[in-house]
Amino acid sequence: MGRAALKLVPTKSAKTISDDEIKAISAQNRDRAFDLVVRKYRDRIYYHALYITKDSQEAFDVAQDVFVRGYHEHRLFDDGFRIKAWLFRVCTNRCYNIVRDKHRRGGILDRLGKQTEVLTKQHKAIDDVLARELSEGMARAMDELSLDHRTILTLRYFNDLSYQEIADTLQIKLGTVMSRLSRAKVRLHEILQETEAE
Amino acid sequence: MNCWRVQNLIAPFLDDELPTPESEAVAEHLEECPPCRDVIEGCAALPDFPRVELDADVESTLWSEFDRCLASRIAHSLTEPPPGEVAAGGLMHGDLRVPRTFAAAAAAMVVMLVGWNWMTYERLDRLEASIEERDALIVALQDRVAEGAPADAFALGTDPETSLEVLLPAHAPGPMVLGSTRMPNPYRTTNYRVAANPSPTLIR
C-alpha cells in the first residue's frame, strides 16, 4: 500500500456518490476510493466531533485519527461493511475518551512538526463561532445534556443517521436508540422550559 | 400502552419511524392522556438543532489543512503502528474496548491466584517436612524404649529458641511448663509438657 495521494475531487460528486459506488472504485484504485471517502465524510465527522468535544483542535485531531484508522482498516471496502456507521463509531468512541478522561491528544500534530499559524488561527476562529453558538438557547440547552443524549441527538438530527445506523454506530439495540432518543428530546424540552422560566 | 412506554417512543413517533400498529397505539394513548400530549407537543415544537456556520474562507482553509495533515499522518503511520490501538481510559483491540478497571481487576485476580497457589505449595512442602520429622522422632523414641528406657521417660517438646521438636526427659528438676506447642504443620496443634531444660537435645 503506497502513500495516499489525496487529490482534489469536486465536492459535489464526493458528496453525492454512494458507498457502494466507492467500493466498486476501490477494486480498481484503493487510494482513489479512500480519497472519496475522506471527501464525503470529513466535514460530518469533524462537526460531529466538534459538537461532542466542543473544541476545534480536538475535533480536528479526532477526525484525522478516524481517517488514519480508516486507511489502515482492511475491511473498509468489503461487501457488507458499513463505512458510515464505522466512521461515526470510531469518531464517537474517540470523543468519549477525550471528554470522559479529559486527556488532551494535541501531541499528535507535534510529531509531524509545529502546527501552522494558519491552522491555529482557523481553530481559534472556529472556537469563537462555537462559543457564540453555545451561548444561544438551543445550543446552550444541548450543552447541558448528558454526553449520551448529546451524542445521539447529534447523530440523528445533525448527521441524519437512520435509527439502524445509530444502532450500528453506538452498538446498541434499535429499541434502545428509540428510547434514548426520546428521553434526550424530553430532557431537552425540560431544560428549555426551565431556562424560559428563569 | 402506558405513559412510560409512550414517552420512550416519542422520537420515533415524531420521526414517523414506528410500525403502524405501535404508531396507532401511541396516537390512541395521546387522545386520552393530556400530560403525554403536552410532552409530545413540546418535543415537536423544539427549535432546529444549532449548526456552526463558518465563513467560506475559514472552511476552505480548514479543509486544505486537513488534507495536508492527513496525508502527512498517513505517510508517517506507514512507518509506525497505526494510532488508536490504545486509547486513554482503556485498551482497544479492533472494535473491542476493555475498560481500565476491568483490566486492573483481572490482573489483580491473576496475582491473587498465583500467590494463593504459591502459598498452598509452600504449606504442603512444610507439612511434608514436619511429617518426616515427626516420623523420625517417633522412631527414635521407639528405639529408646527398645533399649530399655521406660516409655514415659521421654516426652516430645519444643526448643523455645529454634521451635524444633525435641525429646526431653519427662521428669526433669525444675518447674514444669505447661503449654501448647505449635507444630510446623498449620493444621494441627498438640499440647506437650515442656520441661525447663537449659540445654535440650535434639534427637534424630
Interface predicted TM-score of the whole assembly (ipTM), two decimals: 0.77
H or E element in which residue A173 lies: none
Q: How far is B23 from chain A (nearest CA, A)?
A: 13
Q: Measured between alpha carbons, how far is A55 from A62 in angstroms, rounded to an integer?
A: 11
- Indicate if the pLDDT at residue B60 is higher than 60: yes
Cβ <8 Å between A65 and B75 = no
Which of A117, A151, A174 finishes a domain?
A: A117
Residues 6+ apart with CB under 8 A from B129: B184
Domain that holds residue A53: 13-117
Q: How far is A78 from chain B (nearest CA, A)?
A: 16
In order along its 198 residues, chain A shows pLDDT tens digits of 333 334 344 444 667 889 999 999 999 999 999 999 999 999 999 999 988 888 888 899 999 999 999 999 999 999 999 999 999 999 999 998 888 776 554 444 443 444 567 677 778 777 877 777 666 677 778 878 888 998 999 899 888 899 999 999 999 999 999 999 999 999 988 888 887 776
The DSSP string of chain B is: --HHHHHTSHHHHHTT-S-HHHHHHHHHHHHH-HHHHHHHHHHHTPPPPP-----HHHHHHHHHHHHHHHHHHHHHHTTSPPTTSEETTEEEETTEEEEHHHHHHHHHHHHHHHHHHHHHHHHHHHHHHHHHHHHHHHHHHHHHHHTT--GGGEEEEE-TTT--EEEEESS-SSPEEEEEEE-SSTT-EEEEEEE--SS-----
When pLDDT is averaged across residues B33-46 and rounded to a whole number, the result is 89
Same domain, A144 and A107: no
Note whether residue A90 is domain-resident: yes
Q: How far is A20 from chain B (nearest CA, A)?
A: 23
- Indicate if the pLDDT at residue B142 is higher than 60: yes
When pLDDT is averaged across residues B72-76 and rounded to a whole number, the result is 91
Which chain B residue shows the shortest CA-CA distance from A5? B71
What pLDDT score does B154 carry?
A: 60
Among B9, B30, B67, most A C-beta atoms within 10 A, so best to mutate, is: B67
Residues 6+ apart with CB under 8 A from A173: A167
Same domain, A34 and A98: yes
Task: Let me know: does B44 contact B12? Beta carbons within 8 Å.
Answer: no
When pLDDT is averaged across residues B183-204 and rounded to a whole number, the result is 44
Cβ <8 Å between A68 and B73 = yes
DSSP lists the bridge partners of residue B182 as B189
Cβ <8 Å between B7 and A186 = yes
**CA–centroid distance for B167 within its chain:** 47
The proportion of chain B whose per-residue pLDDT surpasses 90, expressed as a percent, equals 19
Note whether residue A164 is domain-resident: yes
Contacts of A9 in chain B (CB under 8 A): none
Q: Are strands B154-158 and B96-99 parallel, antiparallel or unpaired?
A: unpaired
Q: Measured between alpha carbons, how far is B61 from B78 in angstroms, rounded to an integer?
A: 26
Note whether residue A6 is domain-resident: no
What pLDDT score does A122 carry?
A: 76
The pTM for the full model equals 0.60
Q: How far is B5 from chain A (nearest CA, A)?
A: 9
Which residues in chain B (42-71) have CB-CB distances under 8 A to chain A?
Answer: 42-43, 46-55, 58, 61-63, 65-67, 69-71
Cell triple for B30: 395521546
Instruction: State the CB neighbour count (10 A cutoff) for residue A87.
Output: 25
| Closest by CA position to A21, among listed A39, A44, A3, A46 | A39
Instruction: Name the domain count of chain A.
Output: 2
Which of A53, A84, A117 finishes a domain?
A: A117
Q: Which residue has the higher pLDDT, B167 or B63?
A: B63
| Closest by CA position to B2, among listed B30, B23, B24 | B30
Position B45, amino acid: A
Which chain B residue shows the shortest CA-CA distance from A171? B95
Same domain, A31 and A67: yes
H or E element in which residue A98 lies: helix A83-101
Q: Which residue has the higher pLDDT, B152 or B68?
A: B68
Q: Specify the CATH number for the domain of residue A157.
A: 1.10.10.10
